[in-house]
Amino acid sequence: MKELVEKLNTKYALQDIIYQRDNMVFATISKELVIEAITYMRDYEGFAHFVMMSCADWIEDNKFQLTYILNNPQQRCDVALRVMIERENPTMTSAHHLWKQVWTYQREIREAFGIQFPGSPRVEENFVLEGWTDKPHMLRDFDTHEYAEKTYFPRGGRTTNDPATYMREKLYPNQPVTAKKNKNVE
């Protein structure tokens, strides 16, 4: 695993290499080199299985993060390559020619985050939503509560309680509140 990461590092200049497990590594790679890198890993290093592709919205950094996870069935190890792309007019090189299941992932990401994958087959079709005309629904600046209130006739009189506070008030009304410090949080 270490050898492979070193080899990839010399070829593609990886950054932020994180070993999640002995057989799983995450690394950031530049946008231009990622398709070349996963093609190399598929054809030369035995990473024949495409596990998944996901997207995260880093709105503070004005970036999208795409993650490509590949698996080597012989050596039973995973490599995840992360790519940061710009949030304005996001476009990414399509990887549809490498595995057919990439079509579906790219179609989903296009619908949920609005990232364009030019040339990917059927990428413009509906994935989950039908006839969606608003901005992509998984963006962090899309206010789903506001959209629901505007669209779906909210019924008035709805109250929400914090379950812990509500149960304490109901079950132990006379007991003073002693907040215990969570051991796991420093």
Partner 1 sequence: MSELNINSKVQEMLERSEQNAKNSEKTFVRPEDEVREVVAPDGSIIKINPLYDYFSGERPKEEKPKNAIVEKFLNWARSESIWVLGFGTGCGSIEIPPLVTPRYDMFRFGVQMRPTPRQSNAFIISGYLSVKTLKRVIRSYEQMPSPKYVIALGSCTINGGMYYDSYSTINRLDKYIPVDVYIAGCMPRPEALLAGFGKLKELIKEGKAEKANEYARNFDEYKANQKKIIKDWNMPDYNW
Q: What residues make contact with partner 1 under the rule CB under 8 A? A: 128-134, 137, 142, 144-145, 147-149, 151-155, 158
What DSSP designation does 150 have? H
Tell the smallest beta-carbon distance from residue 59 to partner 1 (Å): 17
Tell the smallest beta-carbon distance from residue 103 to partner 1 (Å): 20
84 within 8 A of 69, measured Cβ to Cβ: no
Q: Which is nearer to partner 1, 11 or 150 (CB)?
A: 150
138 within 8 A of 147, measured Cβ to Cβ: no
The conformational region for residue 157 under phi > 0 = left, psi -120 to 50 = alpha, else beta, is left
Tell the smallest beta-carbon distance from residue 168 to partner 1 (Å): 22
Amino acid at 96: H
Tell the smallest beta-carbon distance from residue 144 to partner 1 (Å): 4
Cβ atoms within 10 Å, residue 123: 21
70 within 8 A of 39, measured Cβ to Cβ: no
Tell the smallest beta-carbon distance from residue 120 to partner 1 (Å): 21
Residues whose CB falls within 8 Å of the CB of residue 138, separated by 6 or more in sequence, listed in order: 55, 57, 112, 113
107 within 8 A of 131, measured Cβ to Cβ: no
How far apart, in whole angstroms, are the C-alpha atoms of residue 147 and residue 82?
A: 31
